[in-house]
Amino acid sequence: MVERFRSKALELPDPEHRFDRVDLAFYGVDHSSATYEARVFIGAPRGLERGAGADHPAYAGSFYVFGHDRCYGEEGHCMVPEGRDPFDLRLPHHLEPEPEVVTVTEAVRRLAEGGKRKAPVDVLACGPDGAPVKALGFDELRLLTYR
Amino acid sequence: MTVAAKHPSRAPVRLRHRRSARRLSKGQLAELRQALSRAQRIGDDRGYQYWAGVHGLPLPTYCRHGSPLFLPWHRAYLYFLEKALQDQVPGVTLPWWDWRDHSEALPAAYARARTPGNKANPLHSSPIQPSGRRLPNEKRTWREPGDPSWLPSAAEVDQVRANRDFFTFQSQLESLHNGVHGFVGGTMAIVATSAYDPIFWAHHCMIDRVWYLWQLDHPGARLPDAYLDLALPPFEMTVRQTLDVTALGYDYAAGTAAVPGPGNG
């Protein structure tokens, strides 16, 4: 788990190809520890300051994770099983990683219209008091463009 | 009666109405407090502690988060807690906390430790049963309201409501919901203990209300058929049964006022 993440540059949509909506989809988001805000920035310069927020020009949106804090069971209780028996009709494990979707249309439009073809995504994890928290974890990030 | 939605979803029947926590009449608020206080005094599976514990601690953690069943599970949860309160005070309903209004951090009915009659306000805090505590000394719920920027704005809610796909709508609404838990802080800030805080129910009524409004915005939009007959443990209810709030006997009004008629005698 980390308190910040910077992606490789993602390809942005060509402004000549119209788009109505752009989402950043985070897959496999961990929610086993703290409750936090994930502040999402697109096209920020390297070295984004720790306290950067909604007033930063590269801010694109936030998602919020409702954390489980820690394991309250015995050893193994909070281990998410790998793989799933297709005949297992029980509901998934309570810590099954979750998807998060942040709509970032205007932020991407600004960058694309400014001539940017690629941009990295930065994510800062902050607790309710604004302090960084080491709770951020996810498997994959995708930029989804719709029209 | 002023309804919160532009149009009621069905011809008038004797539904119960969940009202804004900021617009409860004195009598409605007194009844809510009375129902909660009575439920707090019951130590078995009719009581508040039992229902609060269904969400997280004591284990198992039944609540569904980050799951396709987030909204249906919590609608069922509200329904069963509300029924338990109605067993104590017939007709009482859970209110909704409209957190889009940032003018006051928490609704006054929940924020004040004492009632106007100088009694302990059961909406302000609740005991936590020993098996529901993170730490042995966390005997009561507590709050630590944080940065109001964690509370959703009207524009954010409108943007979420504009989604036509159920799962995208649900995922984005759940994220806003998560921020409200973090904003309240303390007992509310983690899954395991959050439902012990009385404001949990008003928060989730607002989430349920936004789903209800989304359903009115997008007639027929719902979870895919494959999910409809799934059970929502520990409740005796399927996803399908949660889709129509009027079939569950309630809808959402901003406020209500009623007077008796002349009778039929």
Tens-place pLDDT, residues A29-80 = 999 999 999 999 999 999 999 899 999 999 999 999 999 999 999 999 999 9
Average pLDDT over residues B127-148: 96
Closest residue in chain A to residue B143, using alpha carbons only:
A128
CB contact under 8 A, B67 and A64: no
CB contact under 8 A, A31 and B233: no
Interface check for A127 against chain B (CB to CB < 8 A): the answer is yes
> Does any domain span residue A80?
no
Residue B195 has pLDDT above 50, yes or no: yes
Return the SS3 of A121. strand
Tens-place pLDDT, residues B143-160 = 999 989 999 999 999 999
Residue B142 has pLDDT above 90, yes or no: yes
Q: What are phi and psi of B177, to 5 degrees?
A: -60, -40
Interface check for A130 against chain B (CB to CB < 8 A): the answer is yes
Residue B115 has pLDDT above 80, yes or no: yes
- The predicted structure's pLDDT at residue B9: 53
- The predicted structure's pLDDT at residue B1: 38
CA atoms within 13 A on the CB side of B105: 15
Residue B129 has pLDDT above 90, yes or no: yes
Strand ranges (DSSP E) for A30-116?
36-42, 59-65, 98-103
- The predicted structure's pLDDT at residue B187: 97
Question: CATH for B2-9+20-255?
Answer: 1.10.1280.10
Prior bond of B234 cis (ω within 30°): yes
- The predicted structure's pLDDT at residue A18: 86
Mutation site for B-interface testing, chosen from A89, A91, A136, A146 by largest number of B Cβ within 10 Å: A91
Percent of chain A with pLDDT over 90: 86
- Closest by alpha carbon to B113, among B31, B27, B201, B33? B33
Residue B91 has pLDDT above 80, yes or no: yes
Please state whether B91 falls in left (phi above 0), alpha (psi between -120 and 50) or beta.
left
> Does any domain span residue A84?
no
What's the one-letter identity of residue A13?
P
Percent of chain B with pLDDT over 70: 95
Distance CA B166, CA B152 (A): 19
Out of B59, B63, B183, closest to residue A72 by CB = B59
In chain A, the number of structural domains is: 1
DSSP code, position B114: B
Tell me the pLDDT of chain B averaged across its residues: 93
CB contact under 8 A, A128 and B233: no
In angstroms, what separates the C-alpha of B217 from chain A's closest C-alpha? 19
Distance CA B4, CA B19 (A): 9
Percent of chain A with pLDDT over 70: 100
What's the one-letter identity of residue B76?
A
In angstroms, what separates the C-alpha of A8 from chain B's closest C-alpha? 25
**What residue segments make up the domains of chain B, in order of their start?**
2-9+20-255
Q: Which residue range forms the structural domain that includes residue A125? A: 4-42+58-68+94-146
> Does any domain span residue A16?
yes
> Does any domain span residue A99?
yes
Tell me the pLDDT of chain A averaged across its residues: 94
Q: How confident is the model at residue B6 (pLDDT cuts 50, 70, 90)?
A: low
Tokens representing B200 are 């949990």
- The predicted structure's pLDDT at residue B13: 55
- The predicted structure's pLDDT at residue B188: 98
Average pLDDT over residues B177-192: 97
Q: Is the confidence metric ipTM above 0.85 for this complex?
A: no
Residues from chain B that touch A137, judged by Cβ atoms under 8 A, are none
Closest residue in chain B to residue A98, using alpha carbons only:
B66
- The predicted structure's pLDDT at residue A120: 97
